Amino acid sequence: MKIDGDKVTFSTGKERIANCGIIGISERHLEVTDGYDSGFHNDDWYDDEQKLTKEEQIELADYMIGVWNKFKEKAG
């Protein structure tokens, strides 16, 4: 997975938009958001073909874990 500006591209080629490359998650509902105000991964307005597969969800989680680990290492 890679993020280039607002464009998120999974290894499968599926794309999403994330304002400013920001991806978040709520602990309470495990809902993934992009930027600051909209759903990102499997909102009802995605048709089944466009929803993220289990593998893409795992790819997203692994990517974000890597980002948080970089943050942690920088904190020292």
pLDDT score of 43: 67
The yes-or-no verdict on residue 9 having pLDDT over 70 is yes
**Residues with Cβ within 8 Å of residue 53, at least 6 apart in sequence:** 12
Q: Where are the beta strands (DSSP E) in 1-76?
A: 2-4, 7-9, 15-17, 23-25, 32-34, 38-39
- Sorting pLDDT into bands at 50, 70 and 90, what band is 28? confident
pLDDT score of 6: 92
Q: What is the pLDDT of residues 32-62, one digit of tens each?
A: 888 766 777 776 667 777 888 999 999 999 9
- Sorting pLDDT into bands at 50, 70 and 90, what band is 30? confident
Average pLDDT, the chain: 88
